[in-house]
Structure 1
Amino acid sequence: MRRVPVPALVPASLLCGSLLLTSACAMEESPGRRPPPAPPGVTAEAGSATSVHVMWNRASDEPEIAAYEVYRGRTKVKSVPGGEHMVDITRLRPSTTYVFTVRARDATGDLGPPSTEVRATTPAAGPTDRRTPTRPGRLGGKAVGSRVVRLSWGPSTDDGDVVSYDILQGGSKIHSVGGGQTAAVVTGLRPGTRYSFTVRARDAADNVSPVSRAVRLTTAPGADDGRGTAPTGFRAGIRRADGAYSVELSWLPPRVDGVITEYEIQLDRRRATSLVWGGTPPRGRAAHSFYVGRESGVSYRVRIRAKLPDGTWGGFSAERTVTTEG
């Protein structure tokens, strides 16, 4: 079997469809200063009868993002620094559906386009409720490499429903998940650092439970292979049609809170292309194929990694070898 340099990909004009974009697509933009891109991966989930937790993936750092603006309908309701990518929108009405978008503003003041709209419905407030949920059960966790920890806890109970759980780091709220979820993934941490996490429950009336017992975790020092944030179940094969070869890929997204919208695909340890989902990314197994040429008897080593919601790259998947056949 022979190895040849990674071939040129198909023209960007053929790739810039509703499913994906490549870095080559960006180069087709008109010259001059560009506004920041729309933040990807926006989600919204009710935190109580009067609040919604909005989260998004960090937009590209080119240009530098100075702030994110969150809109309820057409009204701007929050502005947060560019280093943050989640916020609680409060003083909402119970039993009401709200539409949210997020826009990025760069250091020069230019405002980018709005993100995809997301909807969240606040639950009913119910009768006057002053009873707090019970303390979450024993909190456990595990550091996954140098930048990620996974947390899990026992569910709280309430005279109504537990609507959400707050995750706190050192006493400050850093995340929120729905009341039916008893696990969370925290990314964007520093290598070789000791952290203390707690969890508290919140009901529809915005009553909060006592915080759980703390769990203290230390991330691994230095860089690592990021295996805890790598796509799993990675498969690769070759398809031949009309004398041309394509690499067929499928994988399961890494386990993180938030939405994975971008992947980098490498051939022979070199970047071949970026895959950016134009619509709603699949939560289960994802698939993608791309053209590699017409020559037979050529082998390629293929692997893939995801851009995490905090804007950092996760670990690479297992590497697979594929060969074009005559």
Structure 2
Amino acid sequence: MEGITVQRPHARTALACSAALLLATLTACGGSAEADTVKPTAPEGVTAQAGSATSVHVMWERSSDNEGITGYDVYRAGEKAASVDAGKLMTDVDGLTASTAYTFTVRARDAAGNRSAPSAAVPVTTPADAPADDEPPTTPTRLRGKADSGRTVSLSWGGSTDDVGVTSYDVYQEDSRIHSVPGTRTTARLTGLRPGTVYTFTVRARDAADRSSPDSAPLDLTTPSAPGDPDSTAPTGLRTETTAQGREHLLDLSWDQPDTGGTIPAYQLFLNGEPTTTIVWGGTPPRGRATYRLTLTDPPGTRYSLKIRPKLPDGTWGDFSAQRTVVLGD
């Protein structure tokens, strides 16, 4: 048949050998990327705070690497106790013994498997067991704060009380714990934030029995935008109100609309971090303060975290509002 070439077995072998020889030659001549052998820098600013009689909260500052950090490993007396990905700069180490001294170090790692030198060792001693500690601490009060820069905020609050004693205060941002301080402190300085972003903070007190208080009242802080960045497009002043109606709950939202230089045709509502509905106005979009009612059929006691973001005049989604938490039936 014409137009068909039959490749002989010995020809295929020769081609394979030629390809292998070419690959080896290219590798020898620097044709492939060099292996990453550079170790990340050792984490600095490591702290260890006993969160209870059997747990310690370890925090550290971000390391640097020529290619990029992929995670961190936390060691207790030289033995690995926890591993987290590069996006986290803290972890809890549980299963410890009360009234015991421990030492923690942290090492950074990259995609090539290189590990940094250990950080400076940080000692901590867990408190004694708290017998008959049956009550959680009271709620922290008067949470206040300010944005020191585009990446740093400072918080302060009124102290809690406990039937035995408060061992730590935990700072939460959108339901995720991001910082802890000893129970003797009522201030915190948070770093590594993003400029031009709305943050919602709450604080909980914790005792030696690992019982946590209810959340403090939320505090909204907006970090200033970096020079040259556009202004925030986040809705502000988000308020919520729930009303029971038979077996249903009505959730009423209201907020101040951002100045975007045009009409905002819609908003996207997120519940517990997931997009739930798009709020589209039936007629002319409102000006100034906007409102929306959502009907929920979940049982009393169901907890929701919610936030919204606007659809901008150019069709893109804008910045998120501060987050609000509601409990049906409260």
Classify the TM-score, shorter chain: 0.5 to 0.7
Instruction: Give the alignment of 1:1-80 within 5 angstroms.
Output: 33-80=37-84
Q: Residue 117 of structure 2: which of 113, 118, 125 is its match?
A: 113
Residue type at the aligned position of 1:117: A
- Out of 187, 191, 197, the position equivalent to 1:193 is 197
Q: Could you list the runs of 4 or more consecutive aligned residues of structure 1 that deviate by over 3 angstroms after TM superposition?
A: none
2:156 maps to amino acid: S
Larger Rg: 2
Match of 2:127, SS state, is coil
Q: Distance in 1 between matches of 2:143 and 2:160?
A: 12
Q: Specify the code of the residue in structure 1 equivalent to 2:55.
A: S
Deviations 1:162-191 (A, max 9, x none): 100000001111110110110111112222
**Residues 70, 109 of structure 2: 8 Å contact kept:** yes
Counterpart amino acid of 1:76? K
Provide the C-alpha distance between the structure 1 equivalents of 2:62 and 2:79, rounded to a whole number of angstroms. Answer: 21
Write the distance in 2 (CA, Å) between the matches of 1:174 and 1:32.
32
Q: Give yes or no for contact 1:167–1:199 (8 Å, CA) kept in 2.
A: yes
Give CA-to-partner distance per residue, 1:100-129, whole Å, 9 cap, x none.
111111111122222221111000012132
TM-score of the aligned structures, taking structure 1 as reference length: 0.57
- Per-residue CA distance 1:178-237 (angstroms, 9 max, x = gap): 10110111112222211110000000110100110001111112239xxxxxxxxxxxxx
CA contact (8 A) 2:141 2:216 kept: yes
CA contact (8 A) 1:146 1:223 kept: no
Extract unaligned runs of 5+ from structure 2.
Answer: 1-34, 229-330
Q: TM-score, normalised by structure 2?
A: 0.56
Alpha-carbon distance in structure 1 between the residues aligned to 2:47 and 2:190: 16
Give the CA RMSD over aligned residues: 1.7
Q: Report the counterpart of residue 244 of structure 1 in structure 2.
A: none
Equivalent residue of 2:49, what SS?
strand
CA distance in structure 1 between the partners assigned to 2:41 and 2:72 by the alignment? 11
Q: What does 1:59-138 align with in structure 2 at a 5 Å threshold? A: 59-138=63-142
Question: What does residue 216 of structure 2 align with?
Answer: 212
In the alignment, which residue of structure 2 is the partner of 1:179? 183
Deviation at 1:145, TM superposition (A): 2.7
Q: CA separation in 1, counterparts of 2:227 and 2:200?
A: 21
Provide structure 1 residue ranges, at least 5 long, that are not aligned to the other structure.
Answer: 1-30, 225-326
- Amino acid corresponding to residue 144 of structure 1 in structure 2: D
Supply the distance in 1 between the matched residues of 2:227 and 2:81 (Cα, whole angstroms): 38
Q: Any conservation in 2 of the 1:193–1:218 contact (CA below 8 Å)?
A: yes
| 2:139 partner amino acid | R
The 10-residue stretch of structure 1 (140-149 or 215-224) with the greater mean CA deviation from structure 2: 215-224
> Percent identity among equivalent residues?
56
From the superposition, tell whether residues 32 and 81 of structure 1 become closer, same or farther in structure 2 (CA, over 3 Å). Answer: closer
Residues 35, 63 of structure 1: 8 Å contact kept = no
Higher relative contact order (CA 8 A, sep 6+): 1
